[in-house]
Structure 1
């Protein structure tokens, strides 16, 4: 396609609003439809953003012939159903993170997309951020030698009331899927899938994780990642990568950084890299989706589906270690369980 890419937005929450606002700032994107479980919610969202069509059910959006790609912004528990419906209808799909509730659901979505030859991508906007891509490139090119440690944290102070979605097991609540997916994805961007997983957590009375620490290990690389997530404590949201010849430090907001510092061994002066434009823009992932669609690609090389599957397997392994289960899910079903660290 060399014309404007026409988007449909499925769900009307905060992340859907942020993404829609960013899309409407892009000259080659147009939001033409929105869907929710209720017509009232869809209509209110459409009025807010001047979207031409509002649907009170998902199937109508999936069947809309004027929609090129659907952005799925539901809670995690509905990702499999919503994205699957759109893929079945022949739509390209950008699905929010965490990709699904568990690795088995993610594998089903990926198999469906590949079988139908349809584009599918997890909305891991961090992977599309220019500075994160620069960090990955520096590590890949050996700027800090062989990676030995990765550290990353993401925590919110809360408190979140018992009725909040982050406390609801039926919605995939807890710190891990909402926040922990970022540190895990950051580590796996640099090191791939770990072969050892150890974790500990504080659980809520509802059975979701409130505060989780993770230690991941890579035997072949000789590397470890120390990661944490929390919905009870506001952490600095920093990250660092240390190698045999230097280190990279991200002082704040590691998944959408405005700067990072490269330190090389041997007495060289540190190098600071800074971002241009808004640091929290979702336009980078939208631009990657549209680039893929115009190029006829069904997967993004920046956010590959096999990478999303690998992250879901790690999240499953963490939940297995800390004892978190969601209604109806089977942790690790259809996957090879990782062994404890």
Structure 2
């Protein structure tokens, strides 16, 4: 890596921003130099907590800081478009948390801003950069389970309804689909690509957002993905990738797995355990961003922008089918 550090700005001060910042502070060559929030006091408190030199009381001030190379956008997803666009227009590269936006149209607008300014942009889909998930990709690429025929994945986590929570607020892009369902959908896209057909069912709450959603993605070659998510109950968050000659199982937490099991027809199962996780697990994506910036790339080949657009397109289609609409749509 070149000698110069990559100077990070953090936009937002919630739990995700804190977890990511904790990991950044352990990475050689990562320098957290500024934080921005809509509240000066919140920015100041966050800066004091992590010994960050500069605290800004607006997103725009952070976006305009010439000594910031890249901004990590950690706002709720209803604000991803505005926050990411402000940073790109200010000349900063961006790593934007998942889901990339509320819709494919918003995501496309973000890409257009990055293209106008020839700046790096990446969705913070940490699953794609997880070493075990990449190991599974290599196994499949080497033909260990034959051709992929189906993906099954579920991410459900019981979250009690709390007045004012963004998770069930339409104005905040609430519902299980965008908060949790983006993981199984992205997982299916990783191994099967964008679908040719989408079917979906959801249970909506009184506010009109989904408490639970089930999806079936169909492919012209006969492959299928069966996916689900819920805020109403918890699950093992397991996933399985089936092939013509075997399968790969992620027994739990497929979005950040600690182990996988390779089943090959006629052979004993092979258990592959993850290396001990460093920090909160966000370092892999931070390093990928830094690698791309040092190589003067505007996009990561491991988390491609077309892939993020395709996932948003599938999420749009699911919302259309189940009747979830956000204000202004």
* 1:277 equivalenced with 2:272 (yes/no): no
1:327: how far off? 0.8
**Alpha-carbon distance, 1:268 to partner:** 1.0
Mind listing any 5+ residue stretches in structure 2 that lack a counterpart? none
Quick one: distance in 1 between partners of 2:116 and 2:159? 42
Q: Per-residue deviation at 1:219?
A: 1.1
- In the TM superposition, residue 141 of structure 1 has moved relative to its aligned partner by 2.5
- Judge conservation of contact 1:86–1:92 (CA < 8 Å) in 2: yes
1:104 aligns to 2:102 (yes or no): no
- Post-superposition Cα deviations, 1:124-180, rounded to whole Å, max 9, x if no partner, equal 000011111111121222211111111001111121224211011111111111100
CA distance in 2, matches of 1:247, 1:166: 34
Give the conservation status (yes or no) of the 8 Å contact 1:194–1:217.
yes
Deviation, 1:320, is 0.3
Match of 2:251 in 1: 251
Superposition pairs of residues 139-150 of structure 1, within 5 angstroms = 139-150=140-151
Equivalent residue number for residue 179 of structure 1: 180
**Take 2:285 and 2:91, find their aligned partners in 1: how far apart are those partners?**
21
Number of residue pairs matched by the alignment: 327
1:263 matched to which residue of 2? 263
Q: Distance in 1 between matches of 2:85 and 2:16?
A: 20
Instruction: Give the CA deviation at 1:65.
Output: 1.1
Cα distance in 1 between the residues matched to 2:77 and 2:153? 22
1:218 matched residue in structure 2: 219
Q: Residues 282-335 of structure 1: CA distance to partner in whole angstroms, max 9, x if unpaired? A: 000000000000011100011000000000000000000100011113xxxxxx
Aligned-residue CA RMSD (Å): 1.0
Structure 1 match to 2:288 = 288
Paired residue secondary structure (1:273):
strand
SS of equivalent to 2:27:
coil
Give the superposition deviation at 1:239. 0.2
Verify the 8 A CA contact 1:10 1:70 in the aligned structure 2: yes
Name structure 1 gaps, 5 residues minimum.
330-341
Find out whether 1:8 has 2:22 as its counterpart: no
Native 8 Å contact 1:125 1:284 kept in 2:
yes
> Which residue does 1:152 correspond to in 2?
153
- Map of 1:23-62 to 2, 5 A cutoff? 23-62=24-63
Distance 2:143 2:213 in 1: 31
Kept in 2: contact 1:144–1:247 (CA 8 A): yes
TM-score by length of 2: 0.97
TM-score under structure 1 length normalisation: 0.94
Aligned to 2:144, the other structure's residue is in SS state coil
1:2 and 1:294 in contact (8 A); partners too: no
Shift of residue 2, structure 1, vs aligned partner? 3.4
Tell me the alpha carbon deviations over residues 260-293 of structure 1, each in whole angstroms, 9 at most, x when there is no partner: 010001x211111111121741000000000000
